[in-house]
Amino acid sequence: MPVCGKAEQAMSIRITPKIREAMWQQAKLAYPFECCGLIVGKAGKTRAEGHYYVPCDNSRDLNRERRFLIDPLLYQNVEDRAEREGLDIVSVVHSHPDHPDQPSEFDRTHAWPGFSYIIIAVEKGEVVSYRSWQLMENRERFTEEPILL
């Protein structure tokens, strides 16, 4: 269950340049398919602090250009490791090949409130932008949150 706090609160996520580089590298290598991964760190009331990035294979069989799936067993393993380290999964990351870094309706219906959702826009194999989003508790919409370095 997400632990970042209520999505209605003003939230931000701090990541390191190393996390940003790892996300961007994975997004470029995965193109034209969506990449996905998890940021592990510490959840706070108004800010999540990313400590490290765990790239995940997109285990989706079909339509990998527009959808991603993180294997539930891998997710559980990352969550268990984070718990042993006194940390949390604070963000789900994925790319949007040749699409903007805004959540889709599919993203909204499959997201969980409380997590940061970083979306990386990749055009023709190059990262052009990235933004982070929080799903409101009522699941009606995402709100953008700052990414701090």
pLDDT, tens digit, 9 for 90 and up, residues 21-58: 999 999 999 999 999 999 999 999 899 999 999 999 99
Q: Which residue has the tokens 């805004």?
A: 102
Percent above pLDDT 90 for the chain = 92
- pTM for the full model? 0.92
**What residues pair up with 22 in beta bridges, in sequence order?**
none
pLDDT for residue 8 is more than 70: no
pLDDT, tens digit, 9 for 90 and up, residues 89-118: 999 999 999 999 999 999 999 999 989 999
The superfamily (CATH) of domain 12-148 is Cytidine Deaminase, domain 2 (3.40.140.10)
Domain ranges of the chain: 12-148
User: From CA 133, how far away is CA 103, in angstroms rounded?
Assistant: 8
Q: Produce one character per residue of 27-64: b if its CB has 16 or more CB atoms within 10 Å, e if not.
A: beebbebbbbbbbbbbbbeebbbbbbbbbbebebeeeb
